[in-house]
Each structure stands twice: as structure tokens, then as C-alpha cells.
């Protein structure tokens, strides 16, 4: 009698423990579906080895991330009212003399200027910005409609230097390059068949290195994302650039549509599939990356449109133009995605009509901003449930 009761308790407890485990795993976003044939199962972090040594390397991407960071820091000196030089910006952009004309804190044989979206339009865009930012920084004027100059940021303090249309130069440079170099290189170069397709060398190691060409190309696509290799596992490791935004946007929703781990997982599984030469898994992961990286840009754009409206509703024009400058660059970045759900016409409408006639932020209206948001959400239905929380 006594032992029966005990056993009964044991059973109830076990049943509940199972229920509990099930209910807990429903929170768990990482699913593991092992393929029986694979030699390697996806590791927890982006760590891959051959003969005990790491095969992961993306020094070129690290260099270019540093270049963008240091250029951004230089342009932002103009936000504080200091003069900046066009030549310095060009030297950093083209990495003159292997050290940005003496303006980088490091040396490198890479450059940003030969990696921007071809053929010429983007290159001209940046050179034009450098000239205009430098000229505006010399004038020491307050910005107004049609007049480049400084605008006060009402909440964060300080000022920003904006073009005559109200675009913040720092954002055009930083977020712009995130699109026309990082994003473009991932989408149109490193995740393409020419770089990671089955015909790319995956047996012979690249001379002097511990990786194959195919492995390395995928790592380069990972490097431009901006996540540390132990991202999301190590809570201390924070993502930069795109990975930083993935964390931020993922934070607003419990849905895996915007989860940062969806992207990180796809990178890890994709790289594993290259090691295993499992073409089907690789294809799946690559399409996840295309889809979710694009969704991330769209989500970030909506986030900044929301922020613009809310800042304007409190009369914070400087904050609003800062947010809209970010929004401008994120909407613009969508055009680098070969599968983009927004057409180039729609992107142009957002940038040059919804964000103000001819892209002039001073001519922006709340209804235009709301139209822009609606157009993006229409094309990315995954954003519908979170569009006001972003």
C-alpha cells in the first residue's frame, strides 16, 4: 500500500517532468535535426577545425569592418562641429598607402573602394558625400531646408552634420557602406555558386592556409555579418554592424522570424554542410540567409521609421533626421539583395517621395512616413505582427 502510493507519486512526478520538459522545449528556438550521413554535426559556435587547428579565417572582413568603423569615427568629428577633409576621406576609402593615408590605426592591403556595388554609381555616391560633408563641415552653419549644417540632437545631446536635404553624413557613410560593401559582398559575391557552389575547390587547401577555397568563401560571408564566432552562446560577445542590428530587432519579438539565432544558425549549419559536402543542406541554409538578412534590413528600416515618427511627434527634429537618415540607408540596402521583395521602383518611391519630395527630409510628412512603413510591411508580411513594436 505504502509502496504503491510512492510509486504512484513517482509516476505522477515523472509524467509532469515530461510535460515540463516538453513545455520548456517549446521555448527553445534551436532545433537539431541531424542527418544520419553527415560526418560532422553542426557545432554550437562558428568553430571548425582540421587536424586540431581552426579552419575559420576572415581577416579581410575584419580589416574592412575596422575601416568602416574608423571612417565613421572620422566623419562624426564633423557632427561635433569640427572641420573634416575630403582628401582624408578619400584616402581612408581607397586605403591610400595601406594605412588610409596615415589615418587608420592599422595597416592592410585591402580597401573598401574596390568592393562597393559595381559599376560606378555607388563609388560616385560616396565620393560625392565626402566632398559635400567636408564642404558643409567648413561652414559652421545651422541646418535648414536647402542648407547643409548642424542640427541639435535634442535627447542624446550634441549635434549632427546634415546635408541640405537633412541627411546625416555619418549615417550615409556608416550604414551606407554596410549596404554597398558588406551586404552586397555577402549577397552578390560570397554566397553565390561561383564562390561556394559544388565546383569550388573543397579538397585541396589554399596554399599556406588550413582551409579550402570553398570553406574560406563562406567564412568571408560570415565575416561581413559582424558576429563573433561564439555569438549568442557567449553572452559577453556582442555583434557588430549587421549582427548588432540582428540582436536589436530580434529582441522585440519572440518569433523566430526575426530571431538573431536564425541567422547565426544558418551560418553554422551552412558552414557544416560545406565540410560535409551536403549540397541540399547548404542550399537550405543559404536561402535562409538570403531571406533573413533581407528581412533584417526591412525590420531595421521600419524601426527607424517608427523612431522618426515618434521623435517628430515630440518636436525632436534633430533626433528625427538622425533616425530617418538611418532608415534611408537601411531601405537603400534592400536594393543589394538579388531576391529583394521590394522592387527598385518601390525603394525609390520610399526614398524620394515618402521620405520627402526628392528625398528632402524637410519635406517629409507623417502620412508619407506611414505610407513607407505600410509599403515595407506589405512586402514583408513577417513584420506585420511586430510593426509597431520595432
Partner 1 sequence: MNFTYRSTSLLILVLAVFSWTACDVGESGSDDGPDFDREAMLANFGENIIIPSYDALVDSLNEMATAADNFSADPSTATLQQLQSTLKSSRLAWQRVNLFNFGPASNNLLRTSLNTYPTDTARIEENIDSGDYTLGTVSNQDAVGFPALGYLLHGIGANNQEIVSAYTDDPDASERMQYLEDNVDFIQQKASTVAQEWSADQEDYLTMFLSQDNLGTDAGSSLSMLINAYIQHYERYIRDGKIGIPSGVRSAGVARPQATEAYYAGYSKELALANLQAVQRVFKGITFPDGMNNRGLSDNLEAHDETELVDEIESNMDDAISSVQALNDPLSQQVQNNNDKVQSAFQDLQAVVGPLKTDMTSVLGITITYQDQDGD
- In 35-120, alpha helices (H): 59-79, 86-94
6 makes contact with partner 1 (CB under 8 A): yes
Residue from 145, 234, 343, 352 binding partner 1 (CB under 8 A)? 145
Q: 10 Å Cβ neighbour count for 104? A: 21
Kindly give the pairing relationship between strand 149-152 and strand 49-50.
unpaired
- 254 touches 264 (CB < 8 A): no
**Contacts with partner 1 in 218-257 (CB under 8 A)?**
254
314 makes contact with partner 1 (CB under 8 A): yes
Residue from 124, 370, 378, 384 binding partner 1 (CB under 8 A)? 370
363 makes contact with partner 1 (CB under 8 A): yes
**Contacts with partner 1 in 250-309 (CB under 8 A)?**
254, 309
What is the rounded CA–CA span in Å between residue 254 and residue 233? Answer: 18
317 makes contact with partner 1 (CB under 8 A): yes
In the complex, minimum distance from the CB of residue 379 to partner 1, in angstroms, rounded to a whole number: 20
In the complex, minimum distance from the CB of residue 288 to partner 1, in angstroms, rounded to a whole number: 24
In the complex, minimum distance from the CB of residue 298 to partner 1, in angstroms, rounded to a whole number: 19
Phi, psi torsion values for 78, nearest 5 degrees: -70, -25
List Cα–Cα distances, 331 to 42, 98, 327, in angstroms.
Answer: 33, 32, 6
Binding mask 23-52 for partner 1 (x = CB under 8 A): xx-xx-------------------------
20 makes contact with partner 1 (CB under 8 A): yes
Pick between residue 12 and residue 344 the one whose CB is nearest to partner 1.
12
In the complex, minimum distance from the CB of residue 130 to partner 1, in angstroms, rounded to a whole number: 26
- Burial readout 343-370 (b: 16 or more C-beta within 10 A, e: otherwise): eeebbbbbbebbbbeebbbbebeeebbe
Q: Helix (H, G, I), strand (E, B), or coil: what is residue 159?
A: strand
Residue from 3, 5, 280, 339 binding partner 1 (CB under 8 A)? 5
Pick between residue 334 and residue 369 the one whose CB is nearest to partner 1.
369
Pick between residue 238 and residue 365 the one whose CB is nearest to partner 1.
365
Pick between residue 59 and residue 366 the one whose CB is nearest to partner 1.
366
Pick between residue 82 and residue 144 the one whose CB is nearest to partner 1.
144
Strands (E), the chain: 49-50, 53-54, 149-152, 159-162
**Contacts with partner 1 in 60-119 (CB under 8 A)?**
none
What is the rounded CA–CA span in Å between residue 229 and residue 309? Answer: 36
12 makes contact with partner 1 (CB under 8 A): yes
- Burial readout 287-311 (b: 16 or more C-beta within 10 A, e: otherwise): ebbbbbbbbbbbbbbbbbbbbbbeb
Widest distance between CA atoms in the chain:
93
Phi, psi torsion values for 273, nearest 5 degrees: -65, -30
Residue from 293, 312, 331, 342 binding partner 1 (CB under 8 A)? 312
In the complex, minimum distance from the CB of residue 93 to partner 1, in angstroms, rounded to a whole number: 31
What is the rounded CA–CA span in Å between residue 385 and residue 377? Answer: 10
In the complex, minimum distance from the CB of residue 18 to partner 1, in angstroms, rounded to a whole number: 12
141 makes contact with partner 1 (CB under 8 A): no
Residue from 35, 77, 86, 154 binding partner 1 (CB under 8 A)? 154
Exposed, middle or buried by CB within 10 Å (0-12, 13-18, 19+), for 243?
buried
320 makes contact with partner 1 (CB under 8 A): yes
- 149 touches 141 (CB < 8 A): yes
Pick between residue 206 and residue 309 the one whose CB is nearest to partner 1.
309
Size of interface with partner 1, in residues (CB under 8 A): 38
Question: Where does this chain bind partner 1 (CB under 8 A)?
Answer: 2, 5-6, 9, 12-13, 16, 20, 23-24, 26-27, 144-145, 154-155, 157, 166, 254, 309-310, 312-317, 320, 356, 361-367, 370, 389
Amino acid at each position: 500500500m505504502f509502496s504503491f502510493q510512492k510509486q504512484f507519486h513517482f509516476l505522477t512526478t515523472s509524467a509532469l517532468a515530461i510535460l515540463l520538459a516538453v513545455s520548456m522545449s517549446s521555448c527553445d528556438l534551436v532545433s537539431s535535426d541531424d542527418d544520419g550521413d553527415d560526418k560532422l554535426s553542426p557545432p554550437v559556435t562558428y568553430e571548425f577545425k582540421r587536424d586540431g587547428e581552426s579552419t575559420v579565417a576572415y581577416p579581410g572582413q575584419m580589416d574592412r569592418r575596422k575601416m568602416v568603423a574608423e571612417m565613421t569615427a572620422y566623419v562624426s568629428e564633423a557632427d561635433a562641429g569640427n572641420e573634416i577633409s575630403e582628401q582624408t576621406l578619400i584616402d581612408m576609402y581607397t586605403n591610400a598607402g595601406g594605412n588610409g593615408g596615415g589615418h587608420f590605426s592599422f595597416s592592410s592591403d585591402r580597401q573598401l573602394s574596390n568592393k562597393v556595388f559595381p559599376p560606378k554609381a555607388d563609388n560616385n555616391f560616396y565620393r560625392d558625400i565626402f566632398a559635400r560633408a567636408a564642404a558643409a563641415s567648413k561652414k559652421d552653419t545651422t541646418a535648414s531646408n536647402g542648407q547643409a549644417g548642424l542640427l541639435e540632437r535634442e535627447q542624446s545631446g550634441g549635434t549632427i552634420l546634415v546635408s541640405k536635404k537633412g541627411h546625416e553624413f555619418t549615417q550615409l557613410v556608416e550604414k551606407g557602406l554596410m549596404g554597398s560593401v558588406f551586404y552586397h559582398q555577402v549577397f552578390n559575391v560570397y554566397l553565390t555558386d561561383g564562390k561556394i557552389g559544388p565546383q569550388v575547390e573543397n579538397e585541396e587547401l589554399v596554399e599556406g592556409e588550413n582551409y579550402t577555397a570553398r570553406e574560406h568563401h563562406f567564412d568571408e560571408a560570415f565575416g561581413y555579418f559582424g558576429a563573433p564566432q561564439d555569438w549568442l552562446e557567449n553572452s559577453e560577445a556582442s555583434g557588430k554592424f549587421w549582427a548588432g542590428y540582428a540582436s536589436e530587432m530580434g529582441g522585440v519579438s519572440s518569433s523566430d522570424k526575426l530571431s538573431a539565432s536564425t541567422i547565426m544558425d544558418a551560418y553554422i549549419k551552412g558552414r557544416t554542410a560545406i565540410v560535409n559536402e551536403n549540397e541540399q543542406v547548404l542550399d537550405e541554409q543559404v536561402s535562409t540567409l538570403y531571406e533573413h538578412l533581407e528581412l533584417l534590413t526591412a525590420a531595421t528600416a521600419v524601426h527607424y521609421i517608427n523612431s522618426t515618427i515618434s521623435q517628430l511627434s515630440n518636436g525632436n527634429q534633430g533626433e528625427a533626421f538622425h533616425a530617418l537618415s538611418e532608415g534611408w540607408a537601411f531601405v537603400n540596402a534592400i536594393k543589394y539583395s538579388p531576391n529583394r521583395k521590394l522592387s527598385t521602383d518601390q525603394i525609390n518611391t520610399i526614398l524620394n517621395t515618402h521620405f520627402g519630395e526628392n528625398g528632402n527630409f524637410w519635406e517629409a510628412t507623417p502620412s508619407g512616413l506611414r505610407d513607407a512603413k505600410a509599403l515595407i510591411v506589405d512586402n514583408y508580411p513577417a513584420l506585420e505582427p511586430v510593426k509597431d513594436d520595432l
